[in-house]
Amino acid sequence: MKVSAKALKVKVNAKKTTFKASKAFSVTKAKGAVSFKKTSGSKLIKVSSKGVVTVKKGLKKNKSYTFKVKVSAKGDKNYKAGSKTVKVTVKVK
């Protein structure tokens, strides 16, 4: 499984900004169901099990925030389950 994170940009005055998993992560060669779990970072940034990233209002302008997400693939009868942790950066404008 290959996983990479994409840089996200949000506006400081936005009440809440949501990014689909495809905008935040690139997951290839994963076998079975893929799930996401935030392991560290600001409480104002949430990640759903489907990879949807929600950035709530309250982050400081002109600052970057980094958080870690564990991406897991369940595997199937031919492939074992696997996981990787990636760092995601949110830039507030």
Average pLDDT for consecutive 10-residue bins of the chain (93 residues)?
91 85 92 96 95 92 94 93 95 90
Which residue ranges make up each domain of the chain? 2-92
- Total length of the chain: 93
Looking at domain 2-92, its CATH architecture is Sandwich (2.60)
pTM here is 0.89
7: tokens are: 């840089």
Separation CA 48–CA 15 (nearest Å): 18
